Amino acid sequence: MAATTEHVEVATENPDPDEDEDEDAGEPQGPRIRDTPMDLRLEAIANTVALHPTRDVLACGDVDGDVYAFSYSCTEGENRELWSSGHHLKSCRQVRFTADGEKLYSVSRDKAVHQLDVERGQLVTRIRGAHGAPINSLLLVDENVVATGDDGGTLKVWDMRKGTAIMDLKHHEDYISDITVDQAKRILLTASGDGTMGVFNIKRRRFELLSEYQSGDLTSVALMKRGKKVVCGSSEGTIYIFNWNGFGATSDRFALKAESIDQILPITDSIMCTASIDGYIRAVNLLPNRVIGCIGQHVGEPIEELAKSWDSRFLVSCAHDQLIKFWDISSLPNTTVNEYRKRKKKSGRMKSLTKKAHGDNDFFSGLVEETEKKEGEEQEEEEDDSDSDSDSD
């Protein structure tokens, strides 16, 4: 499908209050340089967003089955739609770039796997009827091997050189929400709506085990602490923590004040960002388990997916408000977390980690910096873990 400008518009935002206007009105003003690219407004809800591994380019897939590619820039007005593809017949569930950035994979409720050329947006490979049920999750293991999980709990691993499945296993009783792999590309881990994490050996092409059942759906799975820890998000708002090679039972759990944890995106070995149905993006530290603060929000709208830019400067989010938003997380990796706890603020408001954290029009947004400065001057009081209302159960 040819790209059209009707599918997207740049969302208008209020100017940043801390940016001064050009005092000399007589001189021509150049393009405004922003801290983050402007929001992208879509015509339909995006289920998924992925960022190019080496360029300022993103791809997204929406509920109508369309896939789009955009270039993004901090120069105001420079976001551009590059192309769109309408080859999927139903909702596009996930998109992922290959490591070299030359191809883009997508999976859909139409049960198909597509491979697109990133430069032109043309369909290169299509596997029709790849699954017997709608496909929900996608992982690119390497340049030739792709893993997919469906709504019925079936995991398939594909050799894309032949276009055939080298693994076809069903051990989950409900949808597979997420898939990840260890650094050695040997062990696949799956999160499922049945409340279990699955362990699969790619090298031996076999199922290993399921974890014990957890409360609620497991919605995401990621590796932390240099692969020594595995974390799973849940529909109940709890992060379940497993030791590597201790997959049967959790070693710890961390309940957030969140309605759900629909995705976990590692930022460093200890810091992750979580997406929730309540519209908040939280930065969370693992061991010690702490909510560091709020990266941003899609006010009152469930967040579908998070992605990180190639240079780790931006976090990108898509949600039910049909917006793709950009957040500056360049300072997040330098965040330090104390071993002891601060006494909870009476307001219960999360610390703002970005300028836009609590929304451009939030009444308190102008007070955030001043409030946090005052908090820093207050004496920090040590508390027992049992007193924290965002601690593990």
Instruction: Note the pLDDT of residue 386.
Output: 32
Per-residue pLDDT at 190 exceeds 90: yes
Helix H, strand E, coil C: the string for 303-320 is EEEEEECCCCCEEEEEEC
Q: Please tell me the pTM assigned to this model.
A: 0.85
88-130 pLDDT, tens digit each: 999 999 999 999 999 999 999 999 999 999 999 999 999 999 9
Instruction: Note the pLDDT of residue 360.
Output: 53
H helix or E strand, kind and range, residue 124? strand 123-127
Between CA 65 and CA 139 the distance in angstroms is 19
Instruction: Note the pLDDT of residue 355.
Output: 83
- Asked if 139 contacts 180 with a C-beta cutoff of 8 angstroms, the reply is yes
For 249-253, which contacts have Cβ atoms below 8 Å and span 24 or more sequence positions? 249/211, 249/212, 250/211, 250/212, 250/214, 252/289, 252/392, 253/392, 253/393
258-283 pLDDT, tens digit each: 999 999 999 999 999 999 999 999 99
Instruction: Note the pLDDT of residue 338.
Output: 80
Residue 182 CB contacts under 8 Å (≥ 6 apart), including other chains? 189, 223, 227, 244
Instruction: Note the pLDDT of residue 9.
Output: 52
Per-residue pLDDT at 305 exceeds 60: yes
199 has which bridge partners?
Answer: 189, 209
362-378 pLDDT, tens digit each: 433 433 433 344 444 44
Percentage helix, strand, coil for the chain under 3-state DSSP, each rounded to 5: 5, 40, 50
Between CA 197 and CA 218 the distance in angstroms is 7
Instruction: Note the pLDDT of residue 110.
Output: 98
Per-residue pLDDT at 392 exceeds 80: no
226-268 pLDDT, tens digit each: 999 999 999 999 999 999 999 999 999 999 989 999 999 999 9
Instruction: Note the pLDDT of residue 55.
Output: 98
Average pLDDT, the chain: 87
Between CA 145 and CA 130 the distance in angstroms is 14
In this predicted structure, which of 29-33, 61-65, 119-123, 330-334 has the lowest mean pLDDT? 29-33
Mean pLDDT, residues 195-221 taken together: 97
Instruction: Note the pLDDT of residue 349.
Output: 75
Instruction: Note the pLDDT of residue 357.
Output: 80
Per-residue pLDDT at 361 exceeds 70: no
189 has which bridge partners?
Answer: 180, 199
